[in-house]
Amino acid sequence: MGIQIENISKFYGHFTALRDVSLDVQAGELVALLGPSGSGKTTLLRIIAGLESPDEGRVILSGEDAAYKNPRDRNVGFVFQHYALFRHMTVFENVAFGLKVRPRRDRLPKKEIFDRVFSLLKLVQLDFFAARYPAQLSGGQRQRVALARALAVEPKVLLLDEPFGALDAQVRKELRRWLKKLHEKIHVTSVFVTHDQEEALEVADRLVIMNNGAVEQIGTPEEIYHRPANPFVFRFLGDVNLFHCRTENGHYSFIGQGGDISDKDGSVRQVFIRPHLFDISLTPGNRESIQGSIQHINAAGPSVKVEIVSEWGGSVQVNIPQDRYQRLGLQKGMSVYLIPLQMSTFDETLPTEEQP
Amino acid sequence: MAGKRKKSVIPGFGLTMGITTGYLGLIVLFPLACLFFQTLDVSLDTVQKTVFSGRALAAFGLSFGASFAAACVNTVFGFLVAWVLVRYTFPGRFLVDAMVDLPFALPTAVAGISLTFLYAQNGWLGKFLYGLGIPSVYSRIGVFIALIFIGLPFVVRTVQPVLVNFDTQVEEAAASLGASRFKAFTRVIMPEVLPSAITGFALAFARALGEYGSVVFISGNMPHRTEIVPLLIMTRLEEYDYLGAQILAVVMLVLSFCFLFLINFLQYWGQRHHRMQECVA
């Protein structure tokens, strides 16, 4: 039931879509492929489904090399971003399709097809819409039909290509929680592609972070969020501020801001600080801090987003709790000091996304 | 406020509707109505004599029969051409694509002459066809060949845009659900393309019914055998039998309208039937 991906590469002319990607998906696991657009995650998913063929490497489904297997023989359920429903068929017909197109000798009797389709429609909470056409459903409902259709053939592996990408924010959140619950109920080995880190962190058992056709890091959501392997992963998982820091005898001091480090004497490091890992103070205090003035305040939301122009002229994003904001009485134009609560550094020898 | 007329969201209904009906009336309805009314005072006896003469009946039979057969052939091969043009990239594709429209643009007489040369007993293709015992010119087969030639673009041009807009992911979905290529084609692609293919069929059929120029060269115009209705009408005119020509024209008009109406209805009904079937299953 598991998927082994071994050293897969895929080229389109001179463009490398995937470079030596290996990945092990355990049976019953829900894995997210996360990366920016063009990172090769959808190509990898399509290769698993057999909709594309790899130029190098192999895909092993349930211990069997799938190289010469057609998509229709792989027993893989695929859910497309834009649903790809059969629009001339009702919801019922869509879900029943995979069962009805089987060769006569392994086709289920009509009654069993009917029962199976209805139990799936109940599972996706659409049994009342069985007689409707896709055009009569909302986006979220259509995607649930697509999911039921994929599950109808009892796939060994379920693949979802940005399943919630075309839906609005509210429905997205609802559906991804529902997907998580559904997966806990039916435990089919699943791989889903997304560019939304929040979605991936919330739904997946494990994450695969991809960039430029290669895997940057594989791990549980917790591992990836708290111990990102490199600057790319760090930056991809959320907003981040970049600084330059000089370290001497365990002491550090901020000397600049931004991605590129001009001073290369070996003691300067790149420092990553998330917006919510700053405290704002009105006085310098005795800890290392960054001076700046408030340019913009957005107090709508669970935390207050403050944009600050640092002493080096760059912009710094800071999120502080509402009560802290009230107590400080922050105003636009005020001069403040930023105290980092937690910083991350990576050795400069590690690859960053700026390097080719 | 209370006295204000209700306004439609899309403006200009009155104006555009007025122009549309006026234009259609002037260009299409008025001439046809004139033709129709001029024959109203003709006695039934004359009509019967003109229409139910052996020669006229044979012409009607050939016109509708050959047009129908040619439209059927064009639907199958036009679909194939559209499929190849949309689905595959090959060198010269744009050339082939442009070539499809040639039968539209060519003066029909030119088409008739070249087809006659080609299919004549000593022509390049005729040599082989006559060898096989198929008389490809001055016969009903010749009429059929000419009508295939002029009707081809219609099906290609109606089916092509539908195939272009067809979401290939739907096919991929069918494949991942275990459908064979054949089943994906018949159950997923065909239902999407069929309405446009029927439209193309209707257009090719209508075009073939009205065709004159190319057929007169290749058919040989033998009364009772290879004479089509438009030619019979011309013959009547040349004989100064204006009334006879008019009667034949009106009958042609009514029959054509009935056929086109029937095809449109079939298309509509086909889609509905399809839908109902899905609901019941």
pLDDT (tens digit per residue) in A146-174 = 999 999 998 989 999 998 887 888 888 88
Interface contact flag, A97 B167, Cβ < 8 Å: no
Distance (Å, whole) CA B191 – CA B267: 12
CB A149 within 8 A of CB A98: yes
| CB proximity B174 to A under 8 Å | yes
**Partner residue opposite B179 with nearest CB, options A89, A90, A101:** A101
User: Class of the B61-280 domain?
Assistant: mainly alpha
Confidence of residue A271 (pLDDT cuts 50, 70, 90): confident
Domain range annotation of chain B: 61-280
Of residues B178, B179, B279, nearest to A131 (C-beta)? B279
* pLDDT value at residue B155: 94
For residues A303 and B39, give the distance between their C-alpha atoms in angstroms, rounded to a whole number: 86
Inform me whether the pLDDT recorded for B59 exceeds 70.
yes
User: What is the rounded distance in angstroms from the CA atom of residue A32 to the CA atom of residue B173?
Assistant: 21
Judged against a pLDDT cut of 70, whether residue B146 lies above it is answered with yes
Interface mutation target, options A51, A101, A191, chain B, most CBs of B under 10 Å: A101
What is the pLDDT averaged over residues B180-206?
Answer: 91
Query: Rounded distance, CA B226 to CA B220, Å?
Result: 7
* End-to-end CA, chain A: 37
Indicate yes or no: CB of A101 within 8 angstroms of CB of B169: no
B87-91 mean pLDDT: 91
pLDDT category, B281, cuts 50, 70, 90?
Answer: very low
Residue B168 exposed, middle or buried by CB count within 10 Å (0-12, 13-18, 19+): exposed
What the block records as the tokens of A158 is 């379920």
Q: What is the pTM of this model?
A: 0.79
* Partners of residue B176 in chain A, C-beta under 8 Å: 49-51, 71-72, 74, 76-78, 150
* pLDDT tens-digit series, residues A177-234: 888 988 998 889 999 999 888 899 999 999 999 999 999 999 999 999 888 888 889 9
For residue B8, the model assigns a pLDDT of 67
Q: What is the pLDDT of residue B277?
A: 43
Residue B2: pLDDT over 70:
no
How far is it, in rounded angstroms, from Cα A335 to Cα A308? 9
What are the pLDDT digits (tens) for A73-123? 888 999 998 999 998 899 999 999 999 998 888 889 999 999 999 999 998
> Which residues, including other chains, have CB under 8 Å from residue A315's CB and lie 6 or more apart?
A295, A307, A308, A309
Confidence of residue A261 (pLDDT cuts 50, 70, 90): low
The residues near A75 (Cβ < 8 Å, ≥ 6 apart) are A61, A153, A154, A155, A156, A157, B178
The pLDDT tens digits of the residues spanning A121-144 come to: 998 889 999 999 998 899 889 999
Looking at residue A253, the DSSP 8-state letter turns out to be: E
Cα A52 to Cα B168: distance, rounded to the nearest angstrom: 13
**Is the pLDDT assigned to residue A30 strictly greater than 90?**
yes
Query: What six digits make up the tokens of A18?
Result: 């995937």
